[in-house]
Structure 1
Amino acid sequence: MSVRHLAVVPAYNEAASVERVVGSLREHAPEFDVLVIDDGSTDDTFDRATAAGARVLRHPFNLGIGGAVQSGFTFAKERGYDFMVQVDGDGQHDAGQIEVLQRTMASEGVDVVCGSRFMDDSGHYPAPISRRTGIHIFAFILSRLVDGRISDPTSGFRLYNQRAISLFARDYPHDYPEVEAVLMLHHHKLTLREVPVRMFTREGGVSSISSGKSAYYMIKVLLALFIGLARARPVPEPGEAAAVSASQGL
């Protein structure tokens, strides 16, 4: 049986960029089926993603990034995909770098590979100083909680194997999930590696984390980290059914 790959693109009002993102995936990662999660967009995201050749799962209202990505995990698990890559719909992630994630997963046998903007300390990614500072604070705390270096815990550019897909199909953090997801992997004894990748500034749309929300975001994520550390979650086995079906809406 052939190995199956899925690219999941969470998108909320990303009409300005989603066509190029889908086109780039089809060009640079043709072995990946492309699934766009239209998370209740009020613009032309659905039509443009469909026109670009993606399969589109449409939420009737906005669930947030955690709900959108979990729909992707659930779809991947239900349809028997072996690997899933998450690529943001705003154009920040370079589909040409997916092979970097794949090589690392193949050579090191880890469950998740995360593309990092800050691993090589080159400063090439033009993040505002407030956001960069927040990311480094999260990285500092997480590195100590998981007893290993984490340089970019907010990166959503990640490749997952079946064990990780199974875990997150059943239980995935909401609101701002990337940071807490790293802690979940550690808690469930799944392995993660970071690799340096290039990323771009967003092509269009509006970030869910505005400058006015930065302090609120930091407090909420820090609370989520420590609550997540205290929570006990069942470890799902690969054959277990997902908690919520992703088949509806397709």
Structure 2
Amino acid sequence: MPMQDPNRLLVIMPAWNEGETVGNTVREVLAQGKDYDVLVVDDGSSDSTGALAEEAGATVLRLPFNLGVGGAMRAGFKYARRKGYRQVIQVDADGQHDPRDIDRVVQGLKRADIAIGARFAEAGNYKVSGPRKWAMSFLAAVVSRLAGEKLTDVTSGFRAANVRALDQYIDHYPAEYLGDTIDSLVVAVRSGCTVTQIPVQMRVRQGGVPSHNPAKSTIYLLRSVFALGLAMTRRKSQVNSGKA
């Protein structure tokens, strides 16, 4: 299998029935004019997600059935490592993550193994309230203490990773959609990976049907609190030195 230029960045885009938005999102990413390659992980879509992503210029990895974001990302991480990429970033196919922020988030890898594009860090006007706010604040406080770094948005999927984090994710990234962002982050931190955050502004969904309405989002966050407890019981793993 041919290896990629180690200086190129792989943008991993999990997508399930995102035919309305994925093509434009891929084109926006490629229009940045950077050394970005885009991998769309078509997570068992029943629409034209895969075909539209290819038409826009992405490489498409098609999964035979829907695994959820965790399973799709794990497949993307394995693809990245086999192809020789040394840096990856997750970008949502629905257009909420602004491609103009990709480079800024990836720059965080100069000082940490994982860089989070954070919605609550002096950028944008993204706000939550009620149980969602309480759950997110609690999660951020616990993970910040574990990481030794102030983090405000630990459930953000807009995250970049270097080789050390990538290898750890391949072994331990949860395939199930139960607080996958929290579980993977906590295990990575407890295994020795460092984390930083970069302020970003989240955009509104560019089209399609959101997988989470407010009620489901609240349930997801409460499940994330439960996932945090499970993550604290998982065994640590040894991360490598970052060399291929």
**TM-score under structure 1 length normalisation:** 0.86
Instruction: Confirm or deny that 1:124 pairs with 2:128.
Output: no
Pairwise CA RMSD of aligned residues? 2.3
Instruction: Output the CA distance in 2 between the equivalents of 1:159 and 1:182.
Output: 12
Deviations 1:173-217 (A, max 9, x none): 231311222211211111110010122011122333333324432
Equivalences for residues 43-54 of structure 1 within 5 A: 43-54=47-58
Instruction: Output the CA distance in 2 between the equivalents of 1:9 and 1:127.
Output: 25
Instruction: Output the CA distance in 2 between the equivalents of 1:26 and 1:162.
Output: 23
The corresponding residue for 1:42 is: 46
Instruction: Confirm or deny that 1:177 pairs with 2:180.
Output: yes
Judge conservation of contact 1:84–1:161 (CA < 8 Å) in 2: yes
Q: Residue 215 and residue 5 in structure 1: after superposition, are their counterparts in 2 closer, same or farther (change >3 A)?
A: closer
Instruction: Output the CA distance in 2 between the equivalents of 1:210 and 1:2.
Output: 39
Equivalences for residues 165-244 of structure 1 within 5 A: 165-173=166-174, 174-175=176-177, 176-235=179-238, 237=240
Counterpart of 1:124 in structure 2: which amino acid?
N
Residue 101 of structure 1 deviates from its aligned partner by 1.7
Residue 82 of structure 1 deviates from its aligned partner by 1.1
Instruction: Confirm or deny that 1:32 pairs with 2:36.
Output: yes
Instruction: Output the CA distance in 1 between the equivalents of 2:147 and 2:229.
Output: 12
Q: Residue 31 and residue 192 in structure 1: after superposition, are their counterparts in 2 closer, same or farther (change >3 A)?
A: same
Instruction: Output the CA distance in 2 between the equivalents of 1:186 and 1:159.
Output: 14
% identical equivalent positions:
36
The 3-state SS of whatever aligns with 2:207 is coil
Q: Residue 104 and residue 29 in structure 1: after superposition, are their counterparts in 2 closer, same or farther (change >3 A)?
A: farther
Instruction: Output the CA distance in 2 between the equivalents of 1:199 and 1:213.
Output: 19
Residue 158 of structure 1 deviates from its aligned partner by 1.2
Judge conservation of contact 2:135–2:225 (CA < 8 Å) in 1: no
Q: Residue 217 and residue 171 in structure 1: after superposition, are their counterparts in 2 closer, same or farther (change >3 A)?
A: same
Q: Residue 215 and residue 4 in structure 1: after superposition, are their counterparts in 2 closer, same or farther (change >3 A)?
A: closer
Instruction: Output the CA distance in 1 between the equivalents of 2:129 and 2:30.
Output: 31
Instruction: Output the CA distance in 1 between the equivalents of 2:41 and 2:241.
Output: 23
Equivalences for residues 98-177 of structure 1 within 5 A: 98-106=102-110, 108=111, 110-120=112-122, 124-125=125-126, 127=128, 131-173=132-174, 174-175=176-177, 176-177=179-180
Judge conservation of contact 1:29–1:96 (CA < 8 Å) in 2: no
Which moves more between the two structures, 83-92 or 229-238? Answer: 229-238
Residue 147 of structure 1 deviates from its aligned partner by 3.8
Judge conservation of contact 2:192–2:238 (CA < 8 Å) in 1: no
Judge conservation of contact 1:185–1:192 (CA < 8 Å) in 2: no
**TM-score under structure 2 length normalisation:** 0.88
The corresponding residue for 2:65 is: 61
Residue 131 of structure 1 deviates from its aligned partner by 3.8
Judge conservation of contact 2:172–2:187 (CA < 8 Å) in 1: no
Structure 1's unaligned 5+ residue stretches are: 240-250
Structure 2's unaligned 5+ residue stretches are: none
Q: Residue 162 and residue 64 in structure 1: after superposition, are their counterparts in 2 closer, same or farther (change >3 A)?
A: same
Equivalences for residues 85-96 of structure 1 within 5 A: 85-96=89-100
Residue 32 of structure 1 deviates from its aligned partner by 1.2
Which moves more between the two structures, 78-87 or 177-186? Answer: 177-186
Deviations 1:70-124 (A, max 9, x none): 1111101111101111101110111111121233323x2x11111101011x661
